[in-house]
Structure 1
Amino acid sequence: MHTGLVHSLDLERDGKVLDYLSMPFSIDRSPYFQLKVPVCVIRNGTGPSVLLMAGNHGDEYEGELSLARLIRRLDPAQVRGRVTILPMANAPAVMAGKRCSPLDGGNLNRAFPGDPKGTPTSRLAHFLEKELFPRHDVVFDIHSGGTAMEHLPVALIERDDDADRHRHTIALMKALGMPHGFIADNGAAAPTSLGAARRAGVVGLSGEFGGGGTATVDSMAITARAIDNLLVALGVVQTPVLGGQAAAPEPMRLMSLTRHSQGIYASRRGWFEPAVRLGDKVTEGQIAGWYHDLERLEAEAEELRFAEAGIVISRRLHTMCEAGDCLVQAAELVGEA
């Protein structure tokens, strides 16, 4: 069946190949235009098969830069098995510096399982879930808070009904070397890459590695550490490639974010001033920040308070807000992984 996507990759051939996933999509300036998504396959004999992807959202740069570096550094002689790398999965969004694709408005991480006859984002999602994910043992999708948010570094997995696979997933999540972990319960029909990995019968890993539409020394270091630790833990490589391998400073702490009351959301246009930092422990009723109305200068700023205790896991970076914007979230600590 035509998948709406073409490529010439041979996933079983040894060596290193940098190629493209191509999707025909007519646009005003180019009626026979093809969207090109770069992909690199590095294979050396039999062994584990891992898919590393970033740029699911275009303005999340830690993974994009790290995987671009990995493509340049990783030699097939270092590899046992196969590493497939998608450094900018939603390529139009990456090039536009936006969360979603400017071609079709597509949010790739809400597009799975996709449609082979749909928009480019939908066709890519279909190809990933139906064709590419099932040919790997592990899928690692690297995220961050993007332009609008800063996010506490945290590993992320989906709860899996397959007990053996779930135990293996938790073990690999711990191996990433992140200070915090997060187990989501979005269900089997989740439209995310982790939902797609689960439906494909493979281990799905993800995480948030920074934010703000930038890359910092710290966010790049923890991203490199996670990639190196995963490849070493799987036995794909014997030594770190990006120079980031290190043990977590302490046992991974598991967090939960399942209730609307764990976040504070704007109900009208305003300007948010935070009173807390990422990683702060907060109590019920503690001030989270102030909401200013610069269109009514005589009005006092509204005090915003946490409805529940927890650890600040994310906050909005843009001071100006509209109704519906998430301003800050406090996750619940639920134990150690």
Structure 2
Amino acid sequence: MTMTSRIWTPIDYERDGKFSDCLRLPHSTDKSAYGWIPIPIVSIKNGDGPTALLIAGNHGDEYEGQLALRKLARDLRQEDVSGRVIIIPSLNFPAVKAGRRVSPLDEGNLNRLFPGKANGTPTEMIAHYISEVLLPIADLAVDLHSGGFSLDYIQCALIRYGRIPREHQKLLDLMQVFGAPVSFVSSGDGGGGATTLNAVAGELGVPIITTELGGGATLSLAGLEIAENGVKRLLKHIGVAPNILVPPSSGTELMEVPNRDFFVYADADGIFEPAASIGQTVVKGDLAGRLYSLDDPVRDPLEIRFPQSGRIACTRFPSLTSRGDCLFSLMRPLALSGGHR
């Protein structure tokens, strides 16, 4: 039985108008027995029409999406909207304030905790509210990510495989509309599997676009522009902001990350010296990099090689590396596998 969310807000999503307030996340501490944590949210509704749910700050150290949605929340007027736009620019607000990927309240990685729990940890409660309250009323969801502290990503949009061919084609069309330079289809094997917002939206049949717009826990201006224009194009495409001004999409290059064999991991601790960079095409067996021992300066470095051929989608950002860290992910042209599986 689905339990009612413990998170609440004074915003009435069914009411016409532009409203800015916050979700109240209950959190009891030594200093605040009946306290709550604010999660900023904006609802803009103008009559009947589709609903777009726009999210950033799922991870707190990813900034392009957060700024893009703050700008949109400020500029979008009620009269620009035909339907409803719900904007949450800093979903995991405790992590955003701390400048961290995960929440300082419970060490919760929000995008590994969906569909969440009504009576769970603070981060699980956030995931539950999105899964049970907001996704079911959405006709389109956008979850804007970047690489954060540990990764640097090629600027791209991504989807999971659709459940049926018609659903998959709709998602491919949305990626063309968004217009990132590169877009890829992911199996989810190398990331959060069934525990991400993307995965839960897919299970509910809600079309969702995710992005990776940079990395290193800093702001990419190119990634910010891609986010701003891509979100506006999606709003225009589904008819929720039919007259919004935005340059047309020039299309996107379709790629895929089919499984975890397209990820490269460190098998030891050390300082990582990469031998390839983002966007570079590599061949199976090529040198990916070397890991140098911290303890033994005369030991030969461990050579790491690419397990598959493809183009590099992301690289590890910090040089200091532990066993199990992701060093690279690879993508390949979507046409090689025929798309929907």
Partner of 2:221: 217
Matched residue type, 2:95: A
Matched residue type, 1:294: L
Matched residue type, 1:255: E
Partner of 1:201: 205
Partner of 1:132: 134
Measure how far apart 1:302 and its partner are: 2.7
- CA–CA distance in structure 2, aligned partners of residues 259 and 168 of structure 1: 25
Measure how far apart 1:167 and its partner are: 2.4
Q: How high is the TM-score relative to the length of structure 1? A: 0.93
Measure how far apart 1:134 and its partner are: 0.7
Measure how far apart 1:251 and its partner are: 4.4
Q: Do the aligned residues in 2 keep the contact of 1:41 with 1:83 (CA within 8 Å)? A: yes
Measure how far apart 1:63 and its partner are: 0.5
Partner of 2:257: 256
Measure how far apart 1:225 and its partner are: 2.0
- CA–CA distance in structure 1, aligned partners of residues 5 and 243 of structure 2: 38
Mean CA deviation greater in 228-237 or 97-106:
228-237
Measure how far apart 1:240 and its partner are: 4.3
Matched residue type, 1:222: I
In 2 relative to 1, CA 228–203 (structure 1 residues): closer, same or farther, beyond 3 Å? same
Q: Do the aligned residues in 2 keep the contact of 1:180 with 1:255 (CA within 8 Å)? A: no
Measure how far apart 1:159 and its partner are: 1.8
Mean CA deviation greater in 91-100 or 197-206:
197-206
Measure how far apart 1:95 and its partner are: 0.5
Matched residue type, 1:272: F
Measure how far apart 1:317 and its partner are: 0.7
In 2 relative to 1, CA 29–217 (structure 1 residues): closer, same or farther, beyond 3 Å? same
- CA–CA distance in structure 2, aligned partners of residues 159 and 113 of structure 1: 19
Does 2:271 correspond to 1:267?
no
Q: How do 1:174-253 residues align onto structure 2 when only pairs under 5 Å count?
A: 174-186=176-188, 190-240=194-244, 245-248=247-250, 251-253=252-254
Q: Do the aligned residues in 1 keep the contact of 2:159 with 2:185 (CA within 8 Å)? A: yes
Q: Do the aligned residues in 2 keep the contact of 1:134 with 1:201 (CA within 8 Å)? A: no
Q: Do the aligned residues in 1 keep the contact of 2:283 with 2:306 (CA within 8 Å)? A: yes
Partner of 1:299: 299
Mean CA deviation greater in 62-71 or 303-312:
303-312
- CA–CA distance in structure 2, aligned partners of residues 135 and 9 of structure 1: 15
Measure how far apart 1:109 and its partner are: 0.8
Partner of 1:59: 61
- The correspondence for 1:159, drawn from 154, 161, 170, is 161
Partner of 2:21: 19
- CA–CA distance in structure 2, aligned partners of residues 213 and 93 of structure 1: 13
Does 2:323 correspond to 1:323?
yes
In 2 relative to 1, CA 269–113 (structure 1 residues): closer, same or farther, beyond 3 Å? same
Measure how far apart 1:43 and its partner are: 1.1
Q: Do the aligned residues in 1 keep the contact of 2:80 with 2:244 (CA within 8 Å)? A: no
Q: Secondary structure at the match of 1:335?
A: helix
- The correspondence for 2:96, drawn from 94, 97, 119, is 94
Q: Per-residue CA shift, 1:73-125, capped at 9, x if unaligned?
A: 11111111111001000000000011111101111111111111111111111
Does 2:73 correspond to 1:71?
yes
Aligned length: 332
Matched residue type, 1:335: A
Q: Per-residue CA shift, 1:267-318, capped at 9, x if unaligned?
A: 2210011121110011112121221123211123333221211000111110
Q: Secondary structure at the match of 1:207?
A: strand
- CA–CA distance in structure 1, aligned partners of residues 44 and 284 of structure 2: 50
Matched residue type, 2:200: A
In 2 relative to 1, CA 162–285 (structure 1 residues): closer, same or farther, beyond 3 Å? closer
Q: Per-residue CA shift, 1:151-188, capped at 9, x if unaligned?
A: 1122111222244333222211211002222223349x
- CA–CA distance in structure 2, aligned partners of residues 174 and 182 of structure 1: 11
- CA–CA distance in structure 2, aligned partners of residues 60 and 251 of structure 1: 23
- CA–CA distance in structure 1, aligned partners of residues 294 and 110 of structure 2: 36
Q: Do the aligned residues in 2 keep the contact of 1:58 with 1:95 (CA within 8 Å)? A: yes
Matched residue type, 2:241: V
Does 2:151 correspond to 1:143?
no
Identify unmatched segments of 5+ residues in structure 2.
none
Q: Per-residue CA shift, 1:38-64, capped at 9, x if unaligned?
A: 110011111221000000011011101
Identify unmatched segments of 5+ residues in structure 1.
none
In 2 relative to 1, CA 62–90 (structure 1 residues): closer, same or farther, beyond 3 Å? same
